[in-house]
Amino acid sequence: MTNRAQRINTIDRIKESKVAEFKYKDLSQEEQDKLDAATFRRLLAHLDNNKDVQNIDLMILAGFCRNCFSKWYKAEAEQQGLDLDIDDARERVYGMTYDEWKQNHQPKATPEQLAAFEAKQKPE
């Protein structure tokens, strides 16, 4: 079955079934990749629309930040055989150069933020 035929078959199954009955495992790898990519773009847009959320706060609450995304983006590019510069990866994630981001959107961390970050780094 061709990819197009698989996609049509999947779409037909979706139309015939209730949304709640549709399972992730029913998606082709191509469809999964498209959804994953679209979700990633949405996450980047969400972060871009919430520039007031600081990286240090993300690190404290979730253990990752925009810089982590940049590093993961670069690492995945390398896995694909692409030599992507970290600055290019950061520009993709931040929507601007990292220097521009820091200048326009990253205030100095407060003593409280630094203390919370340090506490989070200590093993329990």
Contact 97, 90 (CB under 8 A): yes
State residue 22's pLDDT score.
Answer: 64
Higher pLDDT, 17 or 110: 110
pLDDT digits (tens, 9 = 90+) for 33-64: 999 999 999 999 999 999 999 999 999 999 99
Q: How confident is the model at residue 81 (pLDDT cuts 50, 70, 90)?
A: very high
**Cα gap 4→94, rounded to integer Å:** 35
* Whether residue 57 is found in the same domain as residue 34: no
Per-residue pLDDT reduced to its tens digit, 96-119: 999 999 999 999 999 999 999 999
pTM to 2 decimal places: 0.74
pLDDT of residue 25: 81
pLDDT mean over 25-29: 86
Say how many residues make up the chain. Answer: 124
Examine the domain organization and report whether 66 and 89 are in the same domain: yes
pLDDT of residue 35: 92
Number of domains present in the structure of the chain: 2
> Is 80 in a helix, a strand, or coil?
coil
Backbone phi, then psi, for 52, in 5-degree steps? -70, -20
Q: Are 79 and 91 in a shared domain?
A: yes
Please name the residue that has the structure tokens 């601007």. Answer: 96
Same domain, 31 and 74: no
Same domain, 11 and 56: no
Residues 119 and 91 in one domain: yes
56 shares its domain with 77: yes
The boundaries of the domain holding residue 30 are 1-17+26-49
Query: Could you tell me if 55 and 107 are in contact, meaning their C-beta atoms sit under 8 angstroms apart?
Result: no
Kindly state whether residues 71 and 110 are assigned to the same domain: yes
